[in-house]
Amino acid sequence: MTARRHIPLFLIASVPPLTRVLSFPPGRFRHGAAVTISLAGTAAILGLVYTRGEGLKTGVRADLYPAGALAPLMEIAAVRRDPGPVRVFSLHKWGGFLEWNLPQTFKVFIDGRQLVYGPRLFVDYYKILEDTPETSDLLEKYRPDVFVLDYGSKLGRRLAGGEKETALVHWDDSCLVYVNRKRFPEYVRKHGYRAYNPESGATGSLPAVLAELGKAAAAESPGHARTHALTASLLMTHERFSEADREATAAIRLAPRNPSVLLVGFDAALAVHDLGRASELAHRALRADPGSCAVLLAGVRLASAENRTADAEKAVTAAIRAGEAWREKRRTTDPALGDAYRLKAGLLSAAGNAPGAADSLRTAGNAYFDLGRTADAMECYEAGLKFAPGDARLLHNRGTVSMATGRIPEALADFTRALAREPSNVRMHVSLGVALWKAGRKASARAAWARALELDPTNADALAYLTQAK
């Protein structure tokens, strides 16, 4: 009864059986009375649905469907140079919505009719969405003109980095729209975002980025909270705290129960030293999402700001527990887990526990590295080495970041120092071999992998590298 389309079906289906039940046994109730009672019951159910405010609403829930994408898509169709169809790649769950709302000019890649499309197209759909090695060939095969995606998809990150082929032209709280630059050049010049992408961040000067965020707030996504929240976060990184607080307040007004928006407001309130408002927002976020690592971290920061060390220690333990539970359940790293371990390191350092601080910083760096945040990971490893100079695990992990970012000489130096402290560490021998190979020292690389197999004959990585190197 919370879905509008079910209400008429319920009315049609419920009256006959209710009347039959209320008319039994014969003679107990008059037929007219039974009908009246069943209709009154139906009316009561409809009244309940209406007072709940969900089932009888008209329109589309913006948090479930990309309603904001419809206007730009229609404009794209109007300005296209050739008369051919506009091919749209969107999420499978959005395909039916787009099919229903767009004219026949558009050809949606896939929707909920699995039996019609068959398994082959679904396989290709997921390969494209997950940005697999086959994605480039599949995009060339299907040649989509427009992409309507949600936040955080692997394909979205690919498109955000593919500036020469695609351009972001619309974004709001629910979706992002990318278009083919070559097919819609005029539209891209008018609507394209060049200085800012809500997924990858700023790529231009602060004035240009603020101008594009203002454009989104005024034209692309009016009434949405994300634009104001992102503007607030950007302003805080440039220490423009009063302006950030105003933008955060606007975001909260639009999304008063959204935990991520409330946390942006919390950050802004702390920045302007309004601890009372920060406390209020932290509690509101906790009520909205009580099991979130990021929300629990707000409690850590608030307790630290108010010099409640014991409360901060309890809160950071709870935050880490929540982040680890997320990782165990979803097999991915909680985006806030690195921050949690980093805050724990600060508390341990203040208490004089240098080894514990170093260990927490190493764990924080690992979480950041899993998320692709190599700069944050490097900061953590280097800070950890200040507490524990020469720690083999920190050296190895710092070398791993260096190798991932193309700094091979630094990686070789760290791996060599780490092995000097732990000469029997198989993983470090494998990493050293990879760095040597990248440096062109292939014989030395083979020797490093061979040494790893001497220490552990079952090591799959060393065996695979050595096999490929022959």
pLDDT tens digits for range 276-298: 999 999 999 999 998 899 999 99
Per-residue model confidence (pLDDT) at position 417: 95
Q: 170 pairs with which residues across the strands?
A: 177
State pLDDT tens for residues 158-171. 898 766 789 999 99
Structure tokens at 184: 């819609």
> Residue 392's pLDDT is what?
96
Angle 426-438/392-404 helices, nearest 10 degrees? 30
Q: What is the mean pLDDT of the chain?
A: 88
* Per-residue pLDDT reduced to its tens digit, 307-317: 999 999 999 99
pLDDT range class, residue 41, cuts 50, 70, 90: confident
Query: Does the pLDDT value for residue 56 go beyond 70?
Result: no
Question: Does residue 17 have a pLDDT over 90?
Answer: no
* Alpha carbon distance 418, 391 (integer Å): 7
Q: Is the pLDDT of residue 38 over 80?
A: no
pLDDT for 81 beyond 80: no
pLDDT in tens, 199-246: 888 888 899 999 999 888 887 777 889 999 999 999 999 999 999 999
39 band by pLDDT with thresholds 50, 70 and 90: confident
Mean pLDDT of 176-193: 91
Q: Which domains, and CATH codes, for the chain?
A: 6-52 (no CATH), 67-200 (3.40.50), 390-470 (1.25.40.10)
* Range name among 31-35, 265-269, 412-416 with the lowest pLDDT average: 31-35
pLDDT of amino acid 80 = 80
The gap from C-alpha 220 to its chain's centroid, in whole angstroms, comes to: 21
Structure tokens at 159: 């498109």
Q: How confident is the model at residue 134 (pLDDT cuts 50, 70, 90)?
A: very high
**How far apart are alpha carbons 178 and 163 in whole angstroms?**
10
Res 243: pLDDT? 95
Q: Tell whether the model's pLDDT for residue 265 goes beyond 90.
A: yes
CA distance 248 to 263: 9
